[in-house]
Chains A and B, each alone.
Chain A
Amino acid sequence: MSEKEFSLEKSEELIAHLKSGATSEFEQLRSALNLLAHVPEISPVATPPILPSSVTQPVPVVPFKSPKPRRTIVTSIVVVGLFASGSLAAAAVTGIGPAIFVNAGHSAAKFVKNVVGGVGHVVTGNTSDSNQNQASNPVIPGVSATILPTPISNSNEDSNANSDSNSNSNEESNQNNSDQTSLILPLISNLIPPLAPSILTNSGSHENESQKPNSTHETQGPSSEDSNQTAPKVEKSQSPSEDQNQSEPHPVVQPTPEASAIPSSEPTAEPSIMPSVNPSILPTEPTDQNESEN
């Protein structure tokens, strides 16, 4: 065997001439391969285990059309939108969160405010106040700043107190104020300024004076520095309960005796009252005058 070299060509030749019966120098291997290649025949009566005709055709796959995917997409879009708007509103109100969200929330709130304010002023018909309010809009965390100035003009102490309450309780208000009040306040703030002059017309000269603080607050904004500058006197008179007052516009009016006239205007958040503000003041003036005379 060692004498015969079994090369690759010879192995291929051996396989190629396997069935021809040609002799090979590797006879033992050739006979073994012949045995392997020779297979017994099947009896003619034998049949295959299955025939193509007996194979049932597979049921064609019907594409599955379900409304669920579309419904899921719509639902997910709605949920994501609600979540995004909610988170933006929360960021705008609380001022807590990434700066991008807070800024976006501020801008969104400003936009909403502008739209609502525009609608409100269409009702009131007072354009000058609307401009002022829009100017004060950027300061959403200090939403009360747009509300408070109107009573502030009545007494400086009160105004300082309110500004102090703003500055002191800025953080607290950001954290403690509920979303509902903070979301409602911007709407109210748009509606109150038209009322404020009407309320303050108790003393006619107050009207111009009352607008000044507004303008200052609007231009400067309710930043803590500004409020601190005007604050020092009032800090002494501040009570811890004023945190609650801050969230509500009406308690600001409490210290003044004129506030007795104001409760009638507390529900003034309703724009329906506004057009009739000036005439409604007239009945109150005699009482004030009477009181002053007395």
Chain B
Amino acid sequence: MQEKDGNSAGQSEKSTDALVDALDFDKLVEEAVHGSDSAFTLLWRNYQPKMVRYLAMFTNEPEDLCSEVWIKIATSIRSFQGDSKAFRGWIYTIARNAATDLARKKARSGTNVELNETDWIGENSTMVEVMDLVKRLPQEYAEIIMLRVVGDLDASEVAEIVGKTQGNVRVLTHRGLKQLNEMLVNGGGDK
């Protein structure tokens, strides 16, 4: 499967690179929906790091959870309908549901899902601090900030994912950023 994937990705690498350079994600999504492995791979390369970071808010092992999310995406991408904007919201919705399921499972088993510093080896130390601060925010604020900042989603897309109104998302974003700013100014807040 690896060879096949590599071949298929290599054959259409030039065309897909052109698409990525032109940021024609609508075309990429359309091709991926029609079964193009190369287009799917490019989409994965573009969204995988952001998704890992977003999922890092929920679990200590975001890569594993992200792999599960991409498997779900690959199995159901043929039924997807929409442009790149809708695709972005769709994959983050899948990621959020997967994170929710995982948190529910861990809540049943009594496993603590809080992050610690060792889980962020390889990341910038400043980045770890920022993530730690974001983690201290209320879950609602932190999730919306991550979707808007990391996922690069606007208020309407986030509203669809989290099931709130755009105004509510804006207000929650504002409150979260305000609280985060206070924590940054005060030197990490309580910590």
Question: In the bound complex, do residue B6 and residue A47 qualify as a contact, i.e. CB atoms below 8 Å apart?
Answer: yes
Q: Which residues of A contact B90 (CB under 8 A)?
A: none
**How close is A5's CB to chain B, nearest CB, in angstroms?**
10
Inter-chain CA distance A29–B49, complex, in Å, is 22
**How close is A50's CB to chain B, nearest CB, in angstroms?**
5
**How close is B43's CB to chain A, nearest CB, in angstroms?**
9
Chain B residue with the shortest CB-CB distance to A30? B181
Q: Taking chain A's interface residues, is the majority helix, strand, or loop, or is none over half, making it mixed?
A: loop
Counting chain B CB atoms within 10 Å of each CB, which of A11, A44, A52 scores highest? A52
Q: How many A-B residue pairs have CB under 8 A?
A: 116
Question: In the bound complex, do residue B77 and residue A11 qualify as a contact, i.e. CB atoms below 8 Å apart?
Answer: no
Chain A residue with the shortest CB-CB distance to B50? A39
- Write out, one digit per residue, whether chain A residues 26-51 have a CB within 8 A of any chain B CB (1) or not (0): 10110011011101111010111111
Of A12-20, A119-127, A234-242, the one contacting chain B is: A12-20
Question: In the bound complex, do residue B150 and residue A40 qualify as a contact, i.e. CB atoms below 8 Å apart?
Answer: no
- Write out, one digit per residue, whether chain B residues 175-189 have a CB within 8 A of any chain A CB (1) or not (0): 001101110110000
Inter-chain CA distance A47–B148, complex, in Å, is 26
Question: In the bound complex, do residue A6 and residue B181 qualify as a contact, i.e. CB atoms below 8 Å apart?
Answer: yes
**How close is A12's CB to chain B, nearest CB, in angstroms?**
6
A54 within 8 A of B: yes
Q: Which of B150-191 contact A (CB under 8 A)?
A: 150, 152, 155, 170-171, 173-174, 177-178, 180-182, 184-185
Q: A36-B130, A36-B134, A50-B70 known; A28 and B77 CB under 8 Å?
A: no
- Write out, one digit per residue, whether chain A residues 79-110 have a CB within 8 A of any chain B CB (1) or not (0): 00000000000000000000000000000000
Interface magnitude class on chain B: 35 or more
Q: A11-B173, A36-B149 known; A28 and B130 CB under 8 Å?
A: no
- Write out, one digit per residue, whether chain B residues 121-165 have a CB within 8 A of any chain A CB (1) or not (0): 000101100110110000000000110111010010000000000
Question: In the bound complex, do residue B77 and residue A36 qualify as a contact, i.e. CB atoms below 8 Å apart?
Answer: no
Q: A6-B177, A11-B177, A28-B185 known; A48 and B74 CB under 8 Å?
A: yes
Question: In the bound complex, do residue B53 and residue A39 qualify as a contact, i.e. CB atoms below 8 Å apart?
Answer: yes
A1 within 8 A of B: yes
Interface magnitude class on chain A: 20 to 34
Question: In the bound complex, do residue B67 and residue A49 qualify as a contact, i.e. CB atoms below 8 Å apart?
Answer: yes
B40 within 8 A of A: yes
Question: In the bound complex, do residue B49 and residue A42 qualify as a contact, i.e. CB atoms below 8 Å apart?
Answer: yes
B95 within 8 A of A: no
A22 within 8 A of B: no
Question: In the bound complex, do residue A47 and residue B2 qualify as a contact, i.e. CB atoms below 8 Å apart?
Answer: yes
Inter-chain CA distance A6–B185, complex, in Å, is 13
Q: Which residues of B contact A62 (CB under 8 A)?
A: none
The one of A8, A18, A28 in contact with B181, judged by C-beta atoms closer than 8 angstroms, is A28
Question: In the bound complex, do residue A28 and residue B173 qualify as a contact, i.e. CB atoms below 8 Å apart?
Answer: no
**How close is A177's CB to chain B, nearest CB, in angstroms?**
67
Q: Which residues of B contact A41 (CB under 8 A)?
A: 45, 49
Question: In the bound complex, do residue A29 and residue B177 qualify as a contact, i.e. CB atoms below 8 Å apart?
Answer: yes
A55 within 8 A of B: yes
Question: In the bound complex, do residue B78 and residue A32 qualify as a contact, i.e. CB atoms below 8 Å apart?
Answer: no
Q: Which of A39-77 contact B (CB under 8 A)?
A: 39-42, 44, 46-55
Question: In the bound complex, do residue B173 and residue A15 qualify as a contact, i.e. CB atoms below 8 Å apart?
Answer: yes
Question: In the bound complex, do residue A32 and residue B133 qualify as a contact, i.e. CB atoms below 8 Å apart?
Answer: yes
Give the B-binding residues of A (Cβ under 8 A).
1, 6-8, 11-12, 14-15, 18-19, 26, 28-29, 32-33, 35-37, 39-42, 44, 46-55
Question: Could you list 27 A-B pairs, sorted by A, with CB under 8 Å?
Answer: A6-B178, A11-B170, A11-B178, A12-B170, A15-B148, A26-B181, A29-B180, A29-B181, A32-B133, A32-B184, A33-B149, A35-B127, A36-B53, A41-B49, A42-B49, A44-B45, A46-B45, A47-B9, A48-B48, A49-B67, A49-B71, A50-B70, A51-B37, A52-B74, A52-B78, A54-B1, A55-B74
